[in-house]
Structure 1
Amino acid sequence: MISGMAYSSPLKAQDILNKTYSLSFNNATLQEVLTYFQKNHDVKFIYSKNSVNLSQRVSVNFVDQPLRNVLDQLLKKNGIDYEVLKNRIILGKLTATGTGDFKAAISAENADAADQQELGIPITGKVVDEKGLPLPGVTIVEKGTTNGVNTDINGNFKLSVSDKNAVLVVSFIGYRKTEVAVGDQTSISISLSENISGLNEVVVVGYGTQKKSVTTGSISGVSAREFEDQPVTRIEQILQGRTSGLTITTNDGQPGDGATVRVRGVTTFNNNDPLWVVDGVVVDNGGISYLNQSDIESIEVLKDAASSAIYGTRAAAGVILVTTKKGKAGRTQINYSGYVGTSAPARKLDLLDATQYATLRNESSVAGGKGILFPDPASLGKGTDWQSVIFNKGAKQQNHELSVAGGTDKSTYYTSFGYLQQDGIVATDISKYKRINFRTNSTFKPSKYVNFGENIGYTYNKSIGLGNTNSVFGGPLSSAINLDPTTPVIITDPTVAAKAPYIRNAGDPPALQNAQGYYYGISNYVGQEITNPLAYIQKQLGNHSWAHNIVGNAYMEINPIKGLAIRSTVGTKMAFYGDESFTPVYFLNASTIGSRNNYNRDQTRVFSWNLENTASYTRSINQHNITVLLGQGAYVDAATIASGVTEYGLPVTNYNDASLNFAIPAIDRIGYGSEGQPHHLSSLFARLNYDYQEKYIIQGIVRRDGSSRFGSNFKYGTFPSVSVGWVPSKESFWPKTEAIDFVKLRGGYGVVGNDAIRDNAFLSTIGGGRNYSFGTGDTYISGYSPNAPSNPNLKWEQTSQTNIGLDAILFHDFNLTLEWYKKKTTGILQQPSLPFYIGAIDNPYANIGDMENNGQELQLGYHKKVGEFNLGFDGNVSHLSNKVTRLAPGQDYLNGAGVQNIQGGVTRSQVGYAYGSFYGYENTGIFQTQADVNNYISPKTGLPIQPNAKPGDFRWVDTDGDGTISDKDRKFIGKSLPSWQFGFTATAAYKNFDVVVFAQGQAGNKIFQGLHRLDILTANYTTAALNRWTGPGTSNTYPRLTDKDDNSNFGYNSNFYLQSGNYLRIKTLQLGYTFDKNLINKIGLQKVRIYATGQNLLTFTKYTGYDPDISGSIDQGFYPQARTFLVGLSVGF
């Protein structure tokens, strides 16, 4: 790093000037004094007689004075300047600007050949930024040498280079390194552009912005340039894999569906969704579906308490700040971006065909003591591939965005329109998503003291969904997986169609038919909710959900004096959403029947608003920089109002003809409604930021919140944080090296809260239905009693977090961030079990749980221009360790998710283990012979541990060592939460061509692969069943098939069902071409780019289900993500 001197010479030159001399002259010429130095002290002077006057007489007396002081007295007082170059002192005429003119001194006529070669060519210059402002402290080095200087406070520099072929390497922190060829130039002007990952970049921090160089909290950001022209429908997809500290898993692959977002892990047994703040307005997780990616300017994730404490009680699960685009001063800019393409399933499950299915069913039936079901399996052939029946390999997708923006120095505006349409890859007729969005904002500055503006977004969504997904209980995907392949899609044989179950009794619901009048096939073997998926689709046609979302804010800011900003902001969110559905009379199988049609319409209204007033003051005094923020907020989530009506027995047969206008008996019309409780929050907050020279940094935050969800004893909570930073690379002792440009160490501690529980949980509510018979009569008297005792001491969940981080820039172009954190939540709200003699029906909430997360994060970035190539790489890796540290007294664990016909559930949370870990039995292989069964002896009892097992059954581990297999032998067998998250983006551009590759993945978790419907013995299997045990030595991993599973081979949750959830996915590959500006400017265009994109192209995983990216890590028929191919166009006018 450079100190900002006017000129920096080699150390040897400084030694010459620091050497001391004693001399005395009386009325001598300057020529005589200089000659004395050259003859007696080997100090060589070079000068031009035509440039400097050495005939001037001087009288001096120096005793042990540095040569610097001697020359200052002798020369500068007489209009002569000097410089030391290559062990020589050059003299030049002192100019009016106070600097010397040394050009004449080293011309060929004044310096010999040796001097010329050593002194080189003198260069002067100036370095400025993109705005033309001077940059002090910039390093200028002659390439391939150590010959270099720094710019002075005005950006000026002087340097002598070896020859005309020299190249100057110009570098400065936060700016791109630049190389300049000298050639014939003697005066050079250099402009540096900011590094895109530079420290001058501004990040949003909540109620303001900060330079990246002075942030002390843990903040990760994603800017618009990282996801522009990327095919995403929701912003969670933007964040997945692009920043450290986030775990994002897909809720469902259906069009328009969201994802589960966790910031630095799970922090509570309750709501773990982060706080979403869009342009200052708080929106819930589901509410962000209204956002369109083309309107987003940046996204910041506040990960630690030091940064998120400004949001207090709602920040325990992290905060995600979304900033939308605004207009800018300048000409009107019109931009269009759009793409069209198709999607297809990325993979199919390997399921048994008809012959394989019949063969294995025969085997299982015989092993269970029954007879053969299919006399000739081979005659059945391949049968029906139900996945192919419902999968769409050409599902259409399109997106179009148009924006208009511009402004002046007094006002700006931005308006956008968007349309998105996406068809699902599974059962497309009932799997669609459409979104129409509109956004407008403007700002006004009528004077230098006042500015105001507004920002409003509106979105309409229409979604047609499958209903039950990731469930074995029906739906077309579950049916396609479990329905036997021996059942035909439709019945074309009239003799079959003339029999039961297709011919029904008079008055019975009819079997469904397609448009051509053919019955949909009904299985003779598989029943319950597993039905012909095409028949299910027809039953659901027309059903859909819809939503209108309006989110907006308006503000006014007053700047009465320099540095002071007083701002008031009011924001609101209004949502109206609902469903419309029609269910005809139908018969899908003996278990799935609808005897009366019905039409349902419901809607829900949600309204929330917030009012915030802030005052911020910024002042810089002698490189001491201070910013103070004071604020007050009021927030109301008004009562949610829901209403609906269902009508039965309408005189119609399909959705299109159904309505609420038919005259039907009152008994067949059922109306319903509900109104929730409003949630109020009142807040005061403050933040202090201080730094000295951006080298020593401190930030303090305190927020006090009052919530209506708590009683008077703990209605208010205080949430503080403090963080500090130190930039050792700005210290004078820091070595000047090309390797390390910038280093910042930071650390912070803070406490945030969580009040995401039901309203009025601290109160004792009264419930009815507690009827009682008094005396000897049989008459019941209506009774009421408390549901649960009150708890006036109920208070906030508190999450404290310690964070230590390091930010560095290496070799000018390489950015590095390292983080370590420890996050602890105390007082988690639970409902402990109370003894029955208390008389309560329900259990009260209490603060009786603790949880801990520890993690490390690494974020890397590299961007460099090499010739005509622009190269870039951004990557991140996060590691997380979670464990439960306290539960309610006497409560050993919390049960988690369950799966149909799996005994005892599949996950639980217990002290010392990760939240929601898989809990079950462990098998160590399969008994190959009866001798293996007999020899599996308990050391404690000396008897066989599994005396009733048969060859082909699992050998269960006797965990507790009591000699039998029981519930006590279950143990923790895997984590559902991934330990590792990672992602990287590689970019390259050459001339007008560009390519982007984005990949992401996770590791360290298990997935419960539960695709088989266990309670239906006749349900289909994956082809893994072909590797079942059929005799000694045939398999040690897949047990025998039998209709009588006495050993619970398939009934126990065990490591048999768990598979690795590790994966790496090539998420996006995009190739683009930008047309030359000289060409498109002729037709009035500013930018034209075309591109082709492939999404979800390749996934590296050992998981055998559709997709390892599964929220909750339990797979029972998860709607797979689509592989998509698109072509797109971006045009700027």
Structure 2
Amino acid sequence: MITDVKGQPLTGVTVHIRNTTVGTTTDGQGKFTLQQVPANAQLAVSMIGYLSQEVAVNHRKNIPVSLQEYVSNLDETVVIAYGATTKRFNTGNVSSVKAADIAKQPVSNPLAALQGRVPGMIITQQTGLPGGGYNVQIRGQNSIASGNDPLYIIDGVPYSSQITTTLGGTLIGGGSPLNFINPADIESIDVLKDADATAIYGSRGANGVVLITTKKGTIDQTRISLNAYGGIGIASSRVKLMNREQYLEMRHEAFRNDGVLPGIYDHDLNGKWDTTRSTDWQKELLGNKAHFTDVQLSISGGNNNIQYLIGGNLRKETTVFSGKFADKKGSVHFNLTSNSRNQKIQVMLSGNYMVDDNRLPNYDLTGNIYYPPVAPQLYNKDGTLNWQNSTWENPLSPLNTRYSSKTDNLLSNVVISYEPIKALKIKLSGGYNNMLMNEITTLPTTMFDPALKVKTGSASFADKKIQSWILEPQISYQRKWRAGNFDILLGTTIQQSTANAKEVRGLGYNNDALLENIEGASTIIKGNNSNSLYKYNAIFARINCNWDGKYLLNITARRDGSSRFGPGNQFGNFGAVGAGWIFSEENFMKDNAGALSFGKIRASYGTTGNDQISDYRFLSLYQFSSDVPPYQGSPGLTPSSLYNPDYGWEVNKKMEIGIELGLLKDKIFFSTSYYRNRSSNQLLSYPLPDIVGLSSVIQNLPATVENNGWEILLKVGNKQVKKISWSTTFQATIPRNKLISFPGMEKTSYATTMQIGQPLSAIKVLQSAGVNETTGNYQFLDFKGNPTSMPDISTDQYKFININPVFYGGIQQTLQYKNFELDFLFQFVKQTGKNYLYSNYYAPGMSAFYNVPAEVTDRWQKPGDKANFQKYTQKFGETFTAYQYAQQSDLAYSDASYIRLKNLSLTYMIPDQWKNALHLQQGRVYIQGQNLLTITNYKGPDPETQSATKLPPLKVWTIGFQLTF
């Protein structure tokens, strides 16, 4: 008889005679029978979830065996579409990040917690300002022109992935809706990538799915948890610019090269500025410290019939700029789960509500660090801004402007399930999301030079409201038949979302104190107003089969309906098949596995769609226009979109094959996957003749985009050397993207920017031929391969530069010694990017208001010189034209690879004697850091943002504590 450690009989335990094919399984009482067993035989006893044993027969007829439960990483829960499974039995490609990893990072956006942790997922932070946006791609760019955002689902409710800001787009990179979700409320984030995992979401899952599960109440005594931390952030990088001597030498040399003298606007050379002093503008403008404060408080507990959790959060984050700029957040999260006495009825209610008040300057001061070192001082002796007799624009004047956004975000979900008979479950899931954002930008009179005598200010106001609701009735049935476990799911989705936005501008404010009140304006100008309605309906099904714990099959299907397409094209059919073989469960492997404890081969193929285009594009649309004279007091209308009911779904066909291996009882886990996604029937703008009145119309064109690549994951866990235990996780992705076909492309506008066989993000550039040793100007290769100073990119030699990552990934290490735990994550990216050497409009030497990189000192000075940079100039002539060509050449692109210490966490667990004295259940103190070190050769402020005018991600240090009573 075979039981667990508590003496309960175990059903389905595999028992076989070592080195033979003779075997059986236990019945409902844990009993088994084997015939003609040799007296000296060894029995191998195994069951998933328990430690295997080998038992000697020793002439016995009744052999009692007790199996100890074993929970490996393979048996951790993985959230999938409309359910959950384990890594062991999952046929799809799903990566998970748990609450424990999120808690080690002092971040305000959940996306920041995923960087460097998920194979196949590249996340780029757009700016270091609070409330900034993130660019997210899962397995590359599938669509040429339509949306490539993944689908976000929070507790079963679809969540917006689109740009949320109207007025602050250039400042904070469009913003991110996930800034309004508290990371501390999240239990797990599961990223679904292949067809098997995403096809059941149909068109919404074309670019991958991110499932966010928030924390729930548990069956436990009441617990009160307090977590608080504070810290500072500083600008993470500096660029090496010319110092005072180098700058002045450059300016004087530019005038000598052109044979002219400084003019009335050359204030750095004509005596109007004091050139004996110098200012480090990076220190002046970005040298302050940002401050972080975060407090979390939660209460949870429950019994078999009811579980509850309620928590709150307050957070404040300032900037490195001078002034009272800050992002303040307050949120509440709750969850209530109630079960009937017979456990047949369950009701779960959860909700998240956040209020965010983000106040920033209406300008990123990072762009002002390029002021020349000899520019005037910032302040006069009386503390007022120095305008130096109207010879410059004081770089601190934008701090008088304001950008503010106030956001209310409500996300709620209710799930009601009923089990009328065993294994049959009827469920209704409903959700609601309401996001309201109010934005204001101001231009006060104090931001202008007093000599200009600007007497009135102006302000812009924008309101945006996004509402969505969803209902998903489902029915599922589970049945065991022979050696198989079958799980059948059938459901439907009814979803609707509305988006309303309006914008007005106020002019003629006589008092800057009234700028945030529209009624203070003497003139009000109406801006763009938009209203849209999106309706979505689908029916979906899934059949899952697990045969004997070895053979896995998962079939999904979905029929989608979208209001974004015209009649006859609104519906599409999508589906996938996923299969897996756990070959380590075969008898021939159990006898000869050696160190191999788990082995699985899986494969999938399926189709998903894409409808990430604007609403109503199949109709003829009109917009109000100030260019059209009003008629009888009503504003004029101009067409904005042409009627085209014929376009339909983009289709993404996904294929994947992978292998997963566990070694040494799964303490070492390795997996690798090869994927290939092909997206066709692309929704693109088709050019039209001018006589039509509009330049283009949306249409399906026969272009096919392919994304393929390899994903690698290696986990080494629970290793112990003396008193130190450690675990390591390594993940890497090698992606490839290319346009594989586009019949008729030569007749479209895309012929000048794309090429078959090249990535969609490839940049067409001229090929540099260095600096002409005689003239000192840049030269380029013509169509014959000869140097020329006047190239033509349409006919002369060019090449494509791929700015997609060549590979990327991360290495996470956890070390434990007694009560201490050290955890750190290195993120790495191999890529090419646009450098800052050619980012300015003016060529080196031209402007009295712009400094240049110190590398430019390696320039041409006289005939015969071999230099990397052309000669200095101060006029619009041949040298300036050559500089403009250089901006369109391979000179403007260079290595942007980097290795970044993304996260570091040092934790000390409070000893038991201290916890007992303080009546604590748990307690810890910790130090955490983010973006602490970047190793790169990138020529620019930051290789991630690759922008010369945006604040890079901050280097952050925090210290905090967590106490649970």
Tell me the equivalent position of 1:797: 650
Aligned match for 2:368, one of 459, 479, 493: 479
Aligned match for 1:1115, one of 947, 950, 953: 947
The AA in structure 2 aligned to 1:1017 is S
The AA in structure 1 aligned to 2:910 is F
1:210 correspondence with 2:36: no
1:911 correspondence with 2:756: yes
Contact 1:520 1:535 in 2 (8 A): no
1:608 correspondence with 2:468: yes
Contact 1:301 1:318 in 2 (8 A): yes
Tell me the equivalent position of 1:490: 378
Tell me the equivalent position of 2:534: 679
Tell me the equivalent position of 1:463: 358
Tell me the equivalent position of 1:282: 158
Tell me the equivalent position of 2:421: 561
Distance 1:140 1:1130 in 2: 52
Q: Deviations over 1:932-973 (max 9, x none)?
A: xxxxxxxxxxxxxxxxxx1x2223122455885223225234
Superposition pairs for residues 992-1007 of structure 1, below 5 Å? 992-1007=819-834
Counterparts in 2 of 1:1033 and 1:746: CA distance versus 1, 3 Å: farther
Distance 1:791 1:888 in 2: 21
Aligned match for 2:782, one of 942, 948, 958: 958
Q: Deviations over 1:82-122 (max 9, x none)?
A: xxxxxxxxxxxxxxxxxxxxxxxxxxxxxxxxxxxxxxxxx
- Please give the secondary structure, in 2, of the residue aligned with 1:1000: strand
Distance 2:815 2:51 in 1: 17
Distance 2:87 2:618 in 1: 43
1:535 correspondence with 2:397: yes
Tell me the equivalent position of 2:964: 1132
Superposition pairs for residues 262-273 of structure 1, below 5 Å? 262-268=137-143, 269-273=145-149
Alpha-carbon offset, residue 1106 of structure 1: 1.5
The AA in structure 2 aligned to 1:650 is Y
Tell me the equivalent position of 1:925: 770
Tell me the equivalent position of 2:486: 626
Distance 2:4 2:594 in 1: 19
Alpha-carbon offset, residue 914 of structure 1: 0.7
The AA in structure 1 aligned to 2:148 is N
1:853 correspondence with 2:707: yes
Q: Deviations over 1:49-71 (max 9, x none)?
A: xxxxxxxxxxxxxxxxxxxxxxx
TM-score calculated relative to the size of structure 1: 0.74
Distance 1:434 1:327 in 2: 27
The AA in structure 2 aligned to 1:990 is Y
Aligned match for 2:71, one of 194, 197, 202: 194
Distance 2:938 2:372 in 1: 23
Aligned match for 2:855, one of 1015, 1024, 1032: 1024
Distance 1:772 1:202 in 2: 61
Q: Deviations over 1:988-1010 (max 9, x none)?
A: 11111110011102113323436
The AA in structure 1 aligned to 2:836 is Q
Distance 1:594 1:172 in 2: 81
- Please give the secondary structure, in 1, of the residue aligned with 2:588: coil
Tell me the equivalent position of 1:751: 607
Tell me the equivalent position of 2:192: 302
Aligned match for 2:283, one of 388, 391, 396: 388
Distance 1:467 1:175 in 2: 60
1:1038 correspondence with 2:847: no
Aligned match for 2:909, one of 1029, 1051, 1074: 1074
Counterparts in 2 of 1:768 and 1:276: CA distance versus 1, 3 Å: closer
Q: Percent of aligned positions with the same letter in both sequences?
A: 27
Distance 1:155 1:993 in 2: 43
Superposition pairs for residues 434-833 of structure 1, below 5 Å? 434-446=328-340, 447-468=342-363, 475-481=364-370, 483-490=371-378, 492=380, 516-522=382-388, 531-537=393-399, 539-541=400-402, 543-586=403-446, 588=448, 596-638=456-498, 640-654=499-513, 659-660=517-518, 662=520, 665=522, 668-671=523-526, 674-734=529-589, 735-765=591-621, 789-812=642-665, 813-833=667-687
Contact 2:503 2:529 in 1 (8 A): no
Distance 2:700 2:539 in 1: 25
Distance 1:707 1:322 in 2: 24
The AA in structure 1 aligned to 2:755 is Q
Q: Which moved more, 1:456-465 or 1:380-389?
A: 380-389
Alpha-carbon offset, residue 672 of structure 1: 5.0
Distance 2:453 2:804 in 1: 39
Tell me the equivalent position of 1:414: 309
Alpha-carbon offset, residue 892 of structure 1: 6.6
Counterparts in 2 of 1:894 and 1:862: CA distance versus 1, 3 Å: farther
Counterparts in 2 of 1:1009 and 1:895: CA distance versus 1, 3 Å: farther
Distance 2:519 2:273 in 1: 55
Distance 1:267 1:854 in 2: 11
Counterparts in 2 of 1:772 and 1:277: CA distance versus 1, 3 Å: closer
Contact 1:251 1:258 in 2 (8 A): yes
Aligned match for 1:325, one of 198, 215, 230: 215
Unaligned runs of 5+ in 2: 33-43, 55-62, 162-175
Distance 1:223 1:352 in 2: 46
Contact 2:105 2:930 in 1 (8 A): no
Q: Deviations over 1:278-310 (max 9, x none)?
A: 000001123222211111111111101221011
Superposition pairs for residues 289-368 of structure 1, below 5 Å? 289-368=179-258
Distance 1:135 1:619 in 2: 15
Tell me the equivalent position of 1:165: none
Q: Which moved more, 1:362-371 or 1:612-621?
A: 362-371
Alpha-carbon offset, residue 609 of structure 1: 0.6
The AA in structure 2 aligned to 1:1050 is Y
Distance 2:200 2:438 in 1: 35
The AA in structure 1 aligned to 2:804 is L
Distance 1:190 1:618 in 2: 27
- Please give the secondary structure, in 2, of the residue aligned with 1:1056: helix
Tell me the equivalent position of 1:1049: 882
Contact 2:895 2:937 in 1 (8 A): yes
Contact 1:254 1:431 in 2 (8 A): no
Tell me the equivalent position of 2:939: 1104
Unaligned runs of 5+ in 1: 1-5, 7-124, 142-148, 158-168, 180-185, 469-474, 494-515, 774-780, 897-906, 931-949
Q: Which moved more, 1:841-850 or 1:544-553?
A: 841-850
Tell me the equivalent position of 2:57: none
Aligned match for 1:397, one of 292, 295, 308: 292
- Please give the secondary structure, in 2, of the residue aligned with 1:360: helix
The AA in structure 1 aligned to 2:182 is N
Distance 1:569 1:170 in 2: 42
Distance 2:227 2:625 in 1: 60
The AA in structure 2 aligned to 1:921 is L
Say what the alpha-carbon RMSD is for the aligned residues. 3.5
Contact 2:105 2:929 in 1 (8 A): no
Counterparts in 2 of 1:955 and 1:130: CA distance versus 1, 3 Å: farther
